[in-house]
Amino acid sequence: MAEARHREEGRREEERRGERRTEERRFDVPEVDDFTRPYWEAAAACRLLVRRCRAPGCGRAHHYPRAFCPRCWSTDVVWEEVSGRARLYTWSVVHVNDLPPFGTRLPYTAAVVDLDEGPRMTSEVVDCPEGRLRVGMPLVVAFREDVEAGISVPVFRPAERPVDGQGGASADG
């Protein structure tokens, strides 16, 4: 009885401080800040951005967005729109995940893709049965709109599916 009362008091204290409880948190959406806002605004418009180093002798593109180049440490990096074309590097079909809201999407394919412009990116492959997945298969970016969270998340689908003129497509159908 005392243990239950202690948990309830802790829950009320978290709510008072404005903290979200783990059970209520969304684990599939980022916290958008001033630095990453251009990335998420582009995604909402079905455009994929990476960061590119402008230091002499480097010029590498990278993803996830950072304020510096992870290769040469230069801070002379800019946002760059990319084609959205990629190749499947590796994947795992997830059958168990109890973090919200992943459990409602099971099974899903967590993947690492190599963008044509160079960076490797962690994402998800959609609209592709597990038996069709192949290392090196061509993919194209699509965007899963999350109305509740107010963002669109880049995911990838097989390239043979038709896409719009922007190089992307809706992941909703």
Q: What is the mean pLDDT of each run of 10 residues along the chain (173 residues)?
A: 54 55 66 93 97 98 96 98 98 92 90 97 97 98 89 94 44 46
Residue 166: its pLDDT value, please? 39
Residue 149: its pLDDT value, please? 80
Residue 173: its pLDDT value, please? 42
Residue 167: its pLDDT value, please? 41
Residue 148: its pLDDT value, please? 81
Burial class of 166 by CB neighbour count within 10 A (0 to 12, 13 to 18, 19+): middle
C-beta separation of 172 from 154 below 8 A: no
The CA radius of gyration of the chain, in Å to the nearest whole number, is 19
CA distance 61 to 51: 6
Residue 51: its pLDDT value, please? 98
Both tokens assigned to 117 = 């412009």
Which residue type, as a one-letter code, is found at position 32? V
Residue 98: its pLDDT value, please? 87
pTM: 0.76
List the chain domain ranges.
Answer: 37-158
